[in-house]
Amino acid sequence: MCRFIAYSGDTTFMNTLIFDASNSLVQQSKKAKMRVNPLNGDGFGIGWYPEHGDSIPGTFVSIEPAWSNRNLSQIATKIPTQNFFAHVRDASVGMPVSQSNCHPFQYGPYLWMHNGRLDQFSRFRRIILNDLSDQAFDFIKGNTDSECAFAIFLDEINFDKTAPLEKLQQAMKSTVRRINNYRLQVNANTNAFMNFAITNGKESLFTRYSSRTDTRPASLFYRQSKHDIIVSSEPLSDIKEDWTKIERSTLISIKNNNVVIEALID
8-state DSSP, 24: -
> Which of 22, 71, 189, 215 contacts a second copy by CB under 8 A?
71
Say whether 166 sits in a helix, a strand or coil.
helix
Task: Answer yes or no whether residue 68 interacts with a second copy by CB under 8 A.
Answer: yes
* Cα–Cα distance for residue pair 48/7, rounded to 1 Å: 9
Q: Is residue 9 a contact residue for a second copy (CB under 8 A)?
A: no
45 vs 62: CA distance, rounded Å:
6
Under the binding rule (CB under 8 A), the answer on residue 236 touching a second copy is no
The residue (of 76 and 172) whose beta carbon lies closer to a second copy is: 76
**Strand pairing report for 105-107 and 110-118:** antiparallel
Helix (H) or strand (E) holding 123: helix 121-131
Instruction: Tell whether residue 16 is a contact of a second copy (CB under 8 A).
Output: no
The SS3 of residue 83 is strand
Among 10, 33, 55, 141, binds a second copy (CB under 8 A): 141
CB of 43 to a second copy, least distance (A): 8
Surface-to-core class of residue 26, CB atoms within 10 Å of its CB (0-12 exposed, 13-18 middle, 19+ buried): buried
On whether the CB atoms of residues 82 and 194 are closer than 8 A, the answer is no
Applying CB under 8 A, does 1 fall inside the site for a second copy? no
189 and 244 Cβ atoms separated by less than 8 Å: no
Instruction: Tell which positions 19-48 bind a second copy, by CB under 8 A.
Output: 30-31, 39, 41-42, 48
10, 138, 238, 262: which one binds a second copy (CB under 8 A): 138
Q: Is 25 helix (H, G, I), strand (E, B) or coil?
A: helix
Does 174 contact a second copy by CB under 8 A? no
Stretch that binds a second copy, among 93-101, 165-173, 204-212, 251-259 (CB under 8 A): 93-101
Cβ distance to a second copy smaller for residue 60 or 243: 60
What Cα–Cα distance (Å) separates residue 248 from each residue in 70, 79, 101?
36, 34, 26
Number of residues this chain uses to bind a second copy (CB under 8 A): 45
Q: How far apart are CA 242 and CA 25, in angstroms?
A: 17
Residue ranges of E strands in 136-202: 192-199
Selection from 200, 262, 252, 263 nearest residue 230 by Cα: 252
**Nearest CB to a second copy, comparing residues 122 and 180:** 122
Q: Give the nearest distance from C-beta 81 to a second copy in angstroms.
A: 10
Backbone angles phi, psi at 219, to 5 degrees: -70, 155
Residue 61 as a binder of a second copy (CB under 8 A): the answer is yes
Among 82, 98, 174, 257, binds a second copy (CB under 8 A): 98
Selected binder of a second copy within 16, 59, 120, 237 (CB under 8 A): 59
Task: Decide: is 137 part of the binding site for a second copy (CB under 8 A).
Answer: yes
Q: Which residues are at the interface with a second copy (CB under 8 A)?
A: 30-31, 39, 41-42, 48, 50-52, 54, 57-65, 67-68, 70-71, 74-75, 77-80, 91, 96-100, 122, 125-126, 129-130, 134, 137-138, 141, 143
